[in-house]
Amino acid sequence: MTESISTPLDSGANRLRNKVCIVTGAGQGIGRATARRLGAEGGRIVVTERVEESAERTTAELQAHGGDATKIIADVSTLAGAQALMAETLNIYGRIDVLVNNVGGTIWIQPYHQYTEDQVNRELERTLYPTMWCCLAVLPIMMEQQSGSIVNLGSQSPRGLYRLPYAVGKRGIAALTKVLAMEYGRYGIRVNTVAPGGTAVPDRITPRNVIQEGVIAEEPDTDIYQAYREEMGQDIRNQQAIRRSGLPEEQAAAIAFLASDDASFITGQVINCSGGQS
């Protein structure tokens, strides 16, 4: 059965009516919830994934509820992949109003001294590069339009345990957000970041440790690995004022606000959506 895509604002909100919205990593978790939320607010959604199954699920769900949704399979860990995504979106819709850079996520959870050079590179390729490449690919389009809203996904991980390369990537996204906001505000382009705290992902199709199709990341000894995960989780909870995991829909609500014209005078900001995580 297809899940409902209703939101608390369905009764009146139409803030993204007819806006073309690309959501990367829209097949599950925060990306899927964001595609649903932007679609519920009238957006024309480009569901971007590298996995056909998860892309099809989100796209079919949006279409079943009367939404305008198109799936594009793309690997945005490369500039060529990001450019192909933007070109195909332009070919279909003729413009790009909103880009949500959601792709990212840690692969390994372990102390930094246990990472190999290859692991560090793969973490950055997953978490930092997709946002950098997508911004680089979309900016000329938005400059020509003289308008656009980019919402990046950050994280509270820069204050945390056992995910240093991921945390470095997310801190880099915060820097990218500020610099791009300052450089491109003159073109009517806004750039902001939502930084989630610990968020539950109940609809995961692609496991966290899948690096690419057919390639599974090796993990440390199960007991040790589980201990790292538990300590990391407890560290997150200890920082929170609201003592629970966030919901993807709560992150999507913050993203929808920043994407919309309700945030027309907000740029260069990192908005924590973390239950008070410090």
Q: Is residue 70 within 8 Å of residue 141, measured between CB atoms?
A: no
Q: Is residue 123 within 8 Å of residue 165, measured between CB atoms?
A: yes
Strand pairing report for 210-212 and 215-216: antiparallel
| Residue owning tokens 């690995």 | 225
Q: Is 166 a catalytic residue?
A: yes
Burial 214-231, CB ≥16 within 10 A → b, else e: eeeeebeeeeeeeebeee
Q: Is residue 259 within 8 Å of residue 12, measured between CB atoms?
A: no
- What SS3 class is residue 149? strand
Cα separation, 8 vs 12, in Å, equals 9
Q: Is residue 49 within 8 Å of residue 69, measured between CB atoms?
A: no
Beta carbons within 8 Å of 61's beta carbon, 6+ residues apart: 2, 3, 5, 36
Task: Choose, from 162, 166, 184, 228, the residue flagged as catalytic.
Answer: 166
List, by residue number, the catalytic residues.
166
